[in-house]
């Protein structure tokens, strides 16, 4: 089943893909480094947004189901693992 979160993430990732293609063209065209860097930062933001959409859907479905079944510990630890990864990126 394709959730709304996955649809949003897919759309955002397609936008990021187009932006990355544009960045590659900017490099090939020897565009100004600061302009390229700004576009890379923008693409990174889109990737983060897509990831948050996926995590939002995961929490609303998989984690919620695990909580209802009394099996939440593993799912919660997975989320903490992702949060740790975000903290290391920052």
Interval 9-45: pLDDT, tens = 999 999 999 999 999 999 999 999 999 999 999 999 9
Residue 90 confidence class, pLDDT cut points 50, 70, 90: low
Q: What is the CATH number of domain 4-89?
A: 1.20.58.1000
Residue 87 CA: distances (Å) to CA of 2, 26, 48, 80, 90: 29, 31, 13, 10, 5
- Quote the pTM value: 0.85
């Amino acid at each position: 089943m394709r959730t709304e979160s996955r649809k949003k993430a897919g759309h955002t990732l397609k936008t990021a893909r187009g932006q990355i293609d544009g960045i590659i063209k900017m490099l090939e065209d020897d565009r100004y480094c600061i302009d390229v860097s700004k576009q890379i930062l923008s693409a990174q933001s889109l990737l983060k947004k897509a990831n948050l959409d996926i995590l939002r859907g995961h929490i609303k479905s998989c984690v919620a189901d695990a909580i209802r079944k009394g099996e939440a510990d593993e799912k919660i630890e997975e989320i903490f693992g992702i949060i740790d990864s975000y903290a290391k990126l920052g």
